[in-house]
Chain A
């Protein structure tokens, strides 16, 4: 069976500090990978998606970047955090062919002070 892991579960960072959130998927190969953010009282905003190693598509201009160094690893980064980066970050995967559901990880709660 497939599982998706995210860490850390919670993170409190000062403004201007760097960020690295990691997501890994087990039990599948060549998944599509996604980073979402849920800000307080808001829906799920797609930040980045990836259809393969080194292939990253950015959905919205922002202070964040993403990388996919391995097939089942997706990393969300920032060089300098802003207050507005606070939120609940979710990683998700879907099969690259067939099946349309996205499966979400447990999320990371980021608070920037």
Chain B
């Protein structure tokens, strides 16, 4: 049972354009969501998060949108840069004190110069 789904395994975008990565979840108890970026042979690095009390959070070129009714979140990267090429994971959590997260399967983003 995959509670967090990233249905697009890969995405290619031209440099300077917008990258939109999508994530769907099934558990309505999730109340905190994060995006991580991962380069090959490295650990994931935290990018941006959003609490369920918000529908948008912005940090520089990265914006995360949350649609609770659709159980959907998306990560927008504007403008996309070649260095953004990596695998992006979304993760979801229900606050239980352990901060345990369920990760999606990842989307490989390739930004073309």
Which residues of A line the B interface, CB within 8 A? 4, 32, 34, 36, 42-46, 49, 51, 57, 88, 90, 92, 94-95, 100-107, 109
Which residues of B line the A interface, CB within 8 A? 6, 32, 34, 36, 41-46, 49, 89, 91, 93, 95, 97-106
Q: Shortest beta-carbon distance, B50 to chain A, in Å?
A: 11
Check A94/B99 contact, CB under 8 A, given A43-B104, A101-B34, A102-B46.
yes
**Cα distance A89–B36 when bound, in Å?**
16
Q: Shortest beta-carbon distance, A95 to chain B, in Å?
A: 8
A106 proximity list for chain B (CB < 8 A): 42-43
Q: Shortest beta-carbon distance, B43 to chain A, in Å?
A: 3
Q: Shortest beta-carbon distance, A1 to chain B, in Å?
A: 14
B46 touches A103 (CB 8 A): yes
B49 touches A100 (CB 8 A): yes
B43 touches A42 (CB 8 A): no
A and B contact pairs by CB, cutoff 8 A, 14 listed: A32-B98, A34-B100, A43-B6, A44-B44, A44-B89, A49-B100, A94-B99, A95-B99, A100-B32, A100-B34, A100-B95, A102-B91, A102-B101, A106-B42
A109 touches B104 (CB 8 A): no
CB-nearest residue of chain B relative to A109? B41
With most chain A CB atoms within 10 A of its CB, the pick from B34, B43, B100 is B43
